[in-house]
């Protein structure tokens, strides 16, 4: 018989190693007035969290309330060395155990501030817990105790959270405490009895652990040889009710996560669990129907990148988004991404303003289909959706469009002085005026200023000239072994793209790069399509030897990304351009995307700037695109949760893959979603989603499975391309099919006569 007052202690003897791993020996001790037994917890059990900042420390309890007694911790100091310290971790809870005559189990009436203590056979036949269920209960209690200790230790940090995020921040602490433990063996043991999956409790850690302990405590196992009897339960207390039925209950936290996503992204359409975000640029104002088509295709968020365009273009895009949303009665929000301190190649000098028009030819060079050309006045609008011209010519000439009729012939002289004829096929009324579809059977190089003539009975009459031909995009073609010189913007004002040494030349506007990089460091361009090694540096130039490119070379153009993953570059948080753009975003957008977030100082600066603009309601999307940002994600979230703003995380997989390594991306994106799920923060799944479909009209099989993985997030983002409407529509159908019963199902096996 066990009676009187019992107490439970968990001892954890740890030594922090330089590689941030822990050697741990842990055991559970149950004491009563006349007996004491030690329950061993299999090793290794404790480990450091997967994140670099170990912000949690162990505490002890005093009279049932958690308080520090002896602690064990390992936190990198300012010199990034690891401090070493070891001690015992001791938590003591007074427990009232009722007397019971049956020696095979303890009394059912046990009261404790938390459901942490084993009930049943407190004193096994040996010093170690040998029975499987007893061992599970002890381990689960140790995990639960560790989670609560971490919450208490971080109580001062949690109190700084905004009231909207206090519960979510607390659950994040619970999750990180669970992640700091090596529970792989415990997972297997729980899975073997189909009991509790620790991989799926991120959203409601404490409630799930509490429920698990209660259920394990109530289980009864019978066999022919012996019966293990557990008590009927632990008496409920206010704390227990809080964990299982109050603000930390499973259903409450699930509703909180859904509400947080709605605040940032808006309410979802029926039959959909995931938002669709589409990036648009200047093409959205060149087409009268693009935005309407995107909204009809299922787009619920439009993204504008402040790294491109101007406030005038952004204003027109947002105006059209709002107008289309009102007309179609389809809600659509606007996210504007600040450019951030991203390294990019400078602008190359514009190429000639010439447009090549080519008919389709067979292998023998014979014309199969003439080239289709759209003719219209400047500002008249885009061609109708059902026509697909090969080229668009804007012509300054009212007389031409007054006189033109179907089957008329227009002539022009191209850039080479060759005469070409355009036969008018059809006439269309458009937004402001008319447009014509014409065909050309010969290759032509048309430049701005080319004059057009209409054939009369006797002569050719001038009828206008071509305007607004865009300049050709210039690029550098790099192959393995080539040399590339990166110079400051001010050093490259000449038009040629090669230096005096024969190396290709390009600029970079970020001056702090030239003071930070070192020879031997790898460097990547255009999201990792081109790689090189830095061979030399100076105050104004960086010399790079190309080590990876396409078999026939790779093109490097203007405003392409530059990544130097191993360099210790001191980036600024919000740049001067970001602060200017933030004024526009705060007045026009629903959400702001903060690029290249690295540490809490970036969040502090953002918070100050939003407070200056009195935009506590502006949605904030933190873009995780560096190794440092990933490693500090929990700290970034906890800091951002001090703001009242709706909060989300974007997984910017382009830069993130280059910075962290391609082989690590699957793990990294999974970990980001897990952490954000614990914080009840919505995730935006971005970069190269359905890229082949967006660009060429046909998806790859791998892209389809990527979409399936992206369904774990709250929003999937598509980048712009010529087939973007089709891609958005396809993604909408895919998400709908996922939310409802699919068309294709397994058919039931037909039973043969022998089976029956």
At 513-534, the pLDDT tens digits run 888 899 999 999 998 999 999 9
Task: Give SS3 for 62.
Answer: strand
Residue 34's φ and ψ, nearest 5 degrees, are: -130, 0
The predicted-structure confidence for 399-449, as pLDDT tens digits, reads as follows 778 888 888 889 999 999 999 999 999 988 876 778 899 999 999 999 999
* pLDDT at 305 (0 to 100): 95
**Would you call 237 exposed, middle or buried from its count of C-beta atoms within 10 A (0-12, 13-18, 19+)?**
middle
Query: How many residues comprise the chain?
Result: 756
pLDDT in tens, 286-326: 887 899 999 999 999 999 999 989 999 999 999 999 999 99
Mean pLDDT, rounded, for 99-120: 30
pLDDT at 133: 56
Checking if the pLDDT of 362 tops 50, the result is yes
Is residue 4 scored above 70 in pLDDT?
no
Which range has the top average pLDDT, 31-35, 68-72, 193-197, 443-447? 443-447
First to last CA, the chain: 58
pLDDT tens for 370-390 read 999 999 888 777 787 778 899
**Is the pLDDT higher at 181 or at 64?**
181
Whether the per-residue pLDDT at 743 is higher than 70: the answer is: no
User: Any idea which residue has 């967006």 for tokens?
Assistant: 694
* pLDDT(19) > 90: no
Angstrom distance (rounded) from CA 722 to CA 280: 11
How would residue 692 be classed by pLDDT, with cut points 50, 70 and 90?
very high
The model's confidence at residue 106, banded by pLDDT at 50, 70 and 90, is very low
- At residue 726 the predicted structure's pLDDT band, cuts being 50, 70 and 90, is very high
What is the value of pTM for the model shown? 0.75
The pLDDT score that the predictor gives to residue 751 is 56
- 3-state DSSP assignment of residue 393: strand
* E strand intervals along 240-385: 275-280, 301-305, 333-337, 354-357, 360-361, 367-369, 371-376
Q: Is the pLDDT of residue 32 over 50?
A: no
Percent of the chain with pLDDT over 90: 48
Structure confidence at residue 28 (pLDDT): 43
CATH architecture of the domain with range 475-491+501-563: Beta Barrel (2.40)
Domain coordinates of the chain in residue numbers? 127-222+240-248, 272-341+571-739, 354-466, 475-491+501-563
Question: Taking Cα atoms as reference points, which of 640, 732, 548, 493 lies closest to residue 165?
Answer: 640
Structure tokens that stand for 217 in this block: 């405590």
Q: What is the CATH number of domain 272-341+571-739?
A: 3.20.20.60
Model pLDDT, residue 501: 56
* Cβ proximity of 500 and 342 under 8 Å: no
Whether the predicted pLDDT of 232 surpasses 60: no
C-alpha distances out from residue 752 to 1, 318, 373, Å = 62, 63, 64
Point out the least confidently predicted range of 49-53, 309-313, 430-434, 552-556: 49-53
Which candidate, 632, 585, 629, places its Cα nearest to that of 610? Answer: 585
pLDDT for the residue numbered 571: 76
Mean pLDDT, residues 450-471? 83
Specify which residues 476 forms β-bridges with.
Answer: 556
Does the pLDDT value for residue 66 go beyond 70? no
Residue 641 DSSP label: T
DSSP-derived secondary structure letter, 348: P
- 8 Å CB contact between 467 and 396: yes
């Amino acid at each position: 018989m066990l009676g009187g007052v019992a107490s439970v202690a968990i001892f954890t003897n740890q030594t922090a190693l330089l590689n941030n791993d822990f050697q741990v020996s842990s055991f559970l001790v149950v004491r009563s007035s006349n007996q004491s037994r030690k329950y061993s917890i299999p090793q290794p059990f404790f480990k450091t969290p997967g994140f670099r900042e170990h912000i949690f420390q162990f505490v002890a309890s005093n009279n049932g309330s958690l308080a520090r007694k002896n602690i064990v911790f390992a936190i990198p100091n300012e010199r990034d060395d690891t401090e070493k310290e070891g001690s015992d971790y001791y938590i003591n809870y007074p427990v009232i155990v009722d007397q019971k005559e049956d020696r095979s189990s303890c009394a059912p009436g046990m009261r404790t501030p938390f459901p942490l203590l084993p009930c049943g056979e407190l004193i096994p036949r040996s010093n170690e817990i040998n029975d499987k269920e007893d061992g599970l209960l002890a381990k689960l209690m140790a995990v639960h105790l560790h989670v609560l200790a971490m919450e208490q230790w971080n109580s001062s940090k949690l109190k700084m959270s905004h009231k909207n995020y206090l519960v979510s921040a607390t659950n994040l602490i619970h999750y990180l405490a669970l992640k700091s433990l090596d529970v792989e063996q415990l997972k297997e043991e729980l899975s073997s009895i189909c009991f509790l999956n620790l991989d799926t409790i991120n959203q409601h850690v404490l409630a799930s652990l509490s429920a698990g302990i209660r259920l394990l405590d109530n289980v009864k196992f019978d066999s022919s040889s012996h019966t293990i009897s557990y008590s009927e339960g632990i008496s409920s207390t206010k704390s227990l009710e809080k964990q299982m039925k109050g603000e930390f209950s499973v259903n409450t936290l699930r509703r909180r996560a859904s509400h947080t996503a709605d605040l940032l992204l808006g309410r979802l359409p029926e039959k959909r669990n995931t938002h669709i975000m589409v990036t648009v640029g200047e093409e959205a104002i060149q087409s009268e129907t693009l935005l309407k088509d995107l909204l009809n295709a299922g787009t619920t968020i439009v993204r504008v990148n402040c790294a491109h365009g101007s406030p005038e273009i952004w204003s027109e895009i947002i105006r059209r988004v709002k107008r289309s949303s009102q007309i179609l009665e389809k809600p659509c929000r606007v996210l504007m991404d600040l450019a951030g301190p991203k390294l990019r190649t400078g602008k190359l000098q514009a190429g000639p303003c010439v447009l090549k028009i080519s008919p389709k030819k067979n292998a023998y060079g014979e014309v199969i289909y003439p080239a289709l050309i759209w003719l219209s006045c400047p500002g008249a609008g885009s061609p109708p959706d059902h026509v697909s011209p090969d080229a668009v010519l804007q012509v300054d000439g009212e007389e031409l469009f007054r006189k033109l009729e179907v089957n008329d012939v227009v002539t022009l002289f191209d850039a080479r002085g060759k005469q070409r004829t355009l036969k008018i096929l059809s006439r269309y009324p458009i937004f402001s005026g008319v447009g014509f579809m014409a065909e050309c059977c010969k290759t032509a190089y048309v430049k701005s200023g080319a004059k057009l003539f209409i054939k009369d009975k006797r002569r050719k009459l001038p009828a206008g000239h071509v305007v607004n031909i865009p300049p050709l995009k210039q690029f550098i073609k790099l192959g393995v072994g080539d040399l590339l010189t990166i110079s400051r913007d001010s050093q490259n004002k000449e038009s040629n793209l090669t230096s005096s040494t024969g190396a290709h030349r390009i600029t970079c506007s970020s001056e702090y790069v030239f003071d930070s990089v070192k020879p031997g460091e790898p460097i990547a361009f255009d999201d990792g399509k081109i790689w090189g090694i830095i061979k030399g540096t100076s105050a104004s130039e960086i010399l790079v030897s190309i080590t990876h490119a396409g078999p026939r070379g790779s093109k490097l153009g203007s405003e392409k990304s530059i990544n130097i993953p191993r360099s210790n570059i001191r980036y600024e948080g919000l740049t001067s351009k970001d602060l200017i753009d933030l004024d526009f975003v705060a007045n026009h957008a629903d959400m702001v995307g903060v690029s290249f977030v690295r540490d809490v100082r970036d969040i502090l600066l953002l918070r100050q700037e939003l407070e200056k603009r009195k935009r506590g309601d502006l949605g904030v999307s933190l873009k995780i695109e560096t190794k440092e940002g990933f490693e500090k994600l929990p700290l970034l979230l906890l800091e951002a949760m001090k703001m009242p703003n709706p909060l989300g995380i974007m997984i910017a997989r382009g830069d993130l893959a280059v910075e962290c390594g391609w082989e690590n991306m699957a793990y990294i994106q999974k970990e980001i979603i897990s952490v954000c799920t614990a914080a009840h923060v919505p995730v935006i799944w971005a970069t190269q989603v359905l890229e082949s479909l967006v660009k060429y009209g046909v998806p790859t099989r791998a892209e389809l499975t990527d979409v399936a993985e992206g369904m774990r997030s709250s929003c999937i983002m598509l980048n712009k391309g010529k087939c973007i409407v089709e891609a958005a529509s396809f993604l909408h159908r895919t998400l709908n099919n996922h939310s409802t019963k699919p068309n294709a199902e397994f058919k039931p096996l037909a039973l043969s006569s022998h089976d029956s």
